[in-house]
Amino acid sequence: MTDEQHMNPAVADDASESAQIERGLAQLDPLTVRPRPSSRVLCVVFALLLAGAAAGVWWLGVCTEDGQAYDDMVWANLADRLPAWLGPVVSVFTVSLVVQIVSAVLAVGSLVVAGVRRRWWLLGQSAVFAVLCFASSLLKAHLPRPFIIHVEAPEANSAPSGHTILAAAAGIALLCVVPRVCRAAVAAVGAVYALLVGISVMVGKWHRPTDVVMAICIAGAMAMLTLAFTRTSGMDEPGKRASSASIQIVGTVMITGGLLLTAYAAYVLWQVVPGLELRAEWCVDGACVSAVVAVTGVALLVFGLTLAMRQITAAPLTRIGLVGGPPSPPRR
């Protein structure tokens, strides 16, 4: 007890009351009581949401007239509507071999990093994640594409985009194994790589926009599901590690930006829906813009969530920041 508290009993009572309130809040906070199960449950929730989003996007794009008209409009016109400065960048990834080589380098790099760091459970997680993503890409052979309207694109099913899953999965795998100091930078680079590949497969007329969005959502869902099984021995003790400022900033920007861009893409799409079935010329630009913005938003959102959840599962309750203790009550 300080001299001030000795001299003023009211101050001592206030300090004791504040300490009791803090202990009470800590007892009520599930992240404080069970930080590791809470982080795992959160991963499962996000996995289900992303998987549901992938299924919803597929249904809208494949099983509705407006969805098929939208996909076909973007498929036929995106290459001509792409900004001049973006064309040369995207054209690099329209070569299938380039995507395969870059993705392979990222994937092998993730295994090497995990091995060098001696994170054997994390190495196993990466292998399981790769298998899940590969299995998800095989959905293309089993999902139907009913004939609803006449389209210019090939009638064969093309959902989900295998190249986009490969690119997103390679970036996510590397994000999950690198040290904390590198995660924010890897998340940003991985998101840019995934969205460039996603745009390139649309420009090259390999895939429709819903194929690409679905693929990124599937990769994110598999990542969340894999992180849900992070081994306890691979986690820091609660309160042992302070959260990373770079992860806080980059993760917040990516998640917020992803949500805003996705909402904007949905708004633009809603505006052009009346002209889709008529193949109206006035809605072509809006359809192409909404496709590019949607792919960008979903890529940012998925990588931002992976960045945040990787931090939370590694350090389920940090001293400050991304996941911190309950807020202190106001001092009187």
Residue-wise pLDDT for 56-89, tens only, equals: 999 999 999 999 999 999 999 999 998 888 888 9
- Mean per-residue pLDDT for 276-297? 92
Amino acid at 153: A
Selected residue with higher pLDDT from 126 and 230: 126
Summarised one tens digit per residue, pLDDT across range 129-145 is 999 999 999 988 888 88
d(CA 290, CA 286): 6
| Amino acid 331: pLDDT | 56
- Do 184 and 247 form a contact (C-beta atoms < 8 A)? yes
Average pLDDT, the chain: 85
- Mean per-residue pLDDT for 210-225? 97
Instruction: Give the chain's end-to-end CA distance (angstroms, integer).
Output: 18
> Could you tell me which of 232, 236, 229 has the C-alpha nearest to residue 124?
229
Residue 300's H or E segment, with its range, is helix 284-314
- Do 228 and 285 form a contact (C-beta atoms < 8 A)? no
| Amino acid 325: pLDDT | 42
Distances (CA, A) of 206 to 25, 95, 162, 296: 54, 11, 10, 18
Kindly state the tokens that stand for 224: 């969340």
Q: Write down the residue that tokens 């598999």 correspond to.
A: 222
d(CA 220, CA 267): 23
DSSP 82: S
- Do 39 and 309 form a contact (C-beta atoms < 8 A)? yes
**In the chain, count of helices (H) and strands (E)?**
13, 0
| Amino acid 65: pLDDT | 93
Distances (CA, A) of 104 to 67, 98, 115: 33, 10, 17
| Amino acid 212: pLDDT | 97
Question: Does residue 276 have a pLDDT over 50?
Answer: yes
Asked if the peptide bond before residue 238 counts as cis, ω within 30 degrees of 0, the response is no
